[in-house]
């Protein structure tokens, strides 16, 4: 076994080779991120008079807010007949719900919220969003309701804070219901008592307008329907009436793009904690072995996405500080060697940071699973243990370096990468950085080690040594030629 491979390359200058690899990897990463950012841009223009359709089938959060704003803005800019939101959600963050309902209320085109397909639900946040549409429609076998605010971890919000949040939500949904001339009493019951109803019951209770099996039937039922963009105040229209013309209209889909889908997936407490923790671990590996390149790039990307997810979620500053402190302690353990004290303190800080990371509020988005904490902590312990073993080995090698390098002087080897003035050689089945003081040496030439400077060999061609000896004498026989003559035995 030779010295760590990150100090050597099979061709040319090792440092230059690694710089080229770093540059290529960095450019590739930038191209990937640039492509994702391009995907985040909205679609192109379409002809006026089209029906724009978007779909939301997950939890409601900040990513959903940005997507709905983008899709609705595209419909407005292209003078769409209307914008249809196909909705299937178990709920989501309260602040994100407020942003979406406000955006729908202020829309410059009619908005139809369609709870679909069959089996879908508009629970919790979905109830607010459905009732805010100019037209609210449900597919058969769907449900709506259960809109009571709960904490991010799924628990009830106790005490005066719970009453405050519930009363605020009641006032909000009642205002939405009255604006659209819908059942405000049922809306209050959905928030206070978490009632939920089927599509048929929702139509009977004036929670939604009608039932449609699919998009085609929905467009047929919407054709010729009148809506008031500004809504109603005291049961009177607050603005002019708009007639919908959907028969034969072009249908344009504006769904989440790849970038938005990725961000929507990582906006989860468990994934965010996973990305930040392992991203920080990857940076520690890069700091320990800078020649590896990959861990540093991967770590930066994971941290970028991880901190974006934390920014989307309702996080506690204390949790983030504890996570940062954990990796400072890990780095201290590796480079200072605290005999495990700093490492143990780092693990404790990591676990506490994960537990405190997400706020226990309606906007928290959940909490970090205990199993995720255990798995991440186990991975970090295993990696830190491996790095510690490597560090001890390298320190031992450093102590043994004078003896080791002294043994190399005088040995022969072969040039693997042309030396001009530095390159790579193979001596005793090991690859070494090498430097020549007597001019360039081509690849494949046999060399002899004449000296050592740290981990760098000073070499000279064996052929040059042969030229200095007797003509035609092989380099391997030079030592015999330099030996003193053997005394002759006396003759009889």
Cβ neighbors of 342 (< 8 A, separation 6 or more) are: 329, 330, 332, 333, 336
Specify the CATH number of the domain 43-256: 3.90.226.10
- The tokens for 235 are 């049961």
Q: How far apart are CA 307 and CA 283, in angstroms?
A: 15
pLDDT in tens, 135-180: 999 999 999 999 998 876 666 777 788 889 899 999 999 999 999 9
Q: What pLDDT does 397 receive?
A: 65
For residues 67 and 129, the answer to whether their CB atoms sit within 8 Å is no
DSSP secondary structure string, 13-68? -HHHHHHHHHHHHHHHHHHHHHHHHHHTSPP----TTPEEEEEE-S-B-HHHHHHH
DSSP secondary structure string, 172-213? HHHHHHHHTT--HHHHHHHHHS--EEEHHHHHHTTSSSEE-S
For the chain, which ranges sit under pLDDT 70? 1-46, 152-155, 290-293, 337-339, 359-366, 394-405, 464-492
pTM exceeds cut of 0.85 = no
* Cis peptide leading into residue 421 (ω within 30°): yes
pLDDT in tens, 1-32: 333 333 333 334 444 444 444 444 444 555 55
Give 237's strand partners.
232
- The tokens for 90 are 């178990």
Counts for the chain of helices (H) and strands (E), in that order: 16, 18
Domain residues of the chain, as ranges? Answer: 43-256, 260-402, 409-470
Beta sheet of 196-198, edge-to-edge order: 121-123, 143-145, 196-198
Specify the CATH number of the domain 409-470: 2.40.50.140
Q: Which helix (H) or strand (E) holds 446?
A: strand 446-453
Q: What pLDDT does 15 receive?
A: 42
pLDDT in tens, 388-429: 777 777 666 666 666 666 778 888 999 998 898 889 999 888
| First vs last C-alpha separation in the chain | 57
Q: What pLDDT does 125 receive?
A: 94
**Closest by alpha carbon to 198, among 123, 94, 101?**
123
Q: How far apart are CA 195 and CA 199, in angstroms?
A: 13
Residue 352 three-state SS: helix
């Amino acid at each position: 076994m030779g010295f760590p491979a990150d100090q050597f390359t099979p061709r040319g200058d090792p440092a230059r080779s690694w710089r080229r690899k770093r540059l290529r990897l960095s450019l590739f990463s930038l191209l990937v991120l640039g492509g994702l950012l391009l995907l985040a841009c909205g679609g192109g223009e379409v002809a006026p008079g089209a029906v724009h359709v978007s779909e939301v089938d997950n939890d409601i959060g900040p990513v959903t807010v940005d997507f709905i704003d983008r899709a609705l803005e595209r419909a407005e800019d292209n003078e769409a007949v209307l914008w249809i939101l196909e909705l299937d959600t178990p709920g989501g963050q309260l602040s994100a719900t407020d942003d979406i309902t406000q955006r729908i209320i202020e829309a410059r085109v009619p908005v139809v919220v369609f709870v679909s397909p069959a089996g879908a639900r508009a629970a919790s946040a979905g109830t607010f969003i459905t009732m805010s549409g100019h037209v609210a429609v449900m597919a058969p076998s769907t449900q709506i309701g259960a809109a009571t605010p709960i904490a991010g971890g799924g628990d009830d919000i106790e005490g005066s804070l719970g009453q405050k949040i519930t009363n605020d939500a009641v006032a909000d949904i009642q205002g939405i219901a009255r604006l659209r001339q819908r059942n405000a009493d049922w809306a209050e019951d959905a928030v206070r008592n978490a009632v939920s109803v089927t599509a048929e019951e929702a139509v009977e209770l004036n929670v939604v307008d009608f039932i449609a099996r699919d998009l085609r039937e929905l467009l047929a039922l919407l054709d010729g329907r009148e809506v008031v963009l500004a809504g109603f105040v005291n049961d009177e229209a607050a603005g002019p009436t708009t007639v919908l013309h959907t028969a034969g209209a072009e249908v344009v889909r504006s769904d989440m793009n790849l970038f938005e889908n990725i961000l929507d997936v990582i906006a989860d407490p468990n994934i965010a904690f996973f990305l930040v923790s392992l991203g920080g671990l990857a940076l520690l590996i890069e700091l320990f072995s800078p020649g590896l390149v990959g861990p540093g790039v991967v770590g930066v990307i994971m941290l970028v996405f991880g901190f974006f997810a934390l920014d989307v979620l309702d996080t506690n500053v204390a949790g983030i500080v504890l996570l940062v402190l954990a990796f400072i302690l890990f780095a201290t353990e590796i480079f200072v060697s605290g005999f495990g004290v700093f490492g143990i303190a780092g693990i404790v800080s990591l676990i506490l940071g994960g537990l405190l990371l997400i706020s226990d509020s309606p906007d928290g988005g959940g909490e970090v699973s205990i199993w995720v904490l255990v798995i991440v902590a186990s991975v970090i312990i295993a990696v830190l243990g491996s790095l510690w073993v490597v560090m001890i080995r390298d320190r031992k090698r450093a102590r043994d370096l004078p003896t080791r390098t002294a043994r190399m002087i005088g040995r022969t080897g072969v040039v693997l990468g042309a030396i001009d003035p530095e390159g790579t050689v193979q001596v005793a089945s090991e690859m070494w950085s090498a430097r020549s003081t007597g001019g360039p040496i081509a690849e494949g030439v046999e060399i002899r080690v004449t000296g050592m400077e740290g981990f760098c060999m000073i070499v000279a061609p064996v052929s040059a040594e042969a030229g200095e000896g007797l003509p035609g004498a092989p380099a391997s026989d030079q030592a015999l030629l330099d030996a003193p003559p053997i005394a002759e035995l006396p003759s009889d």
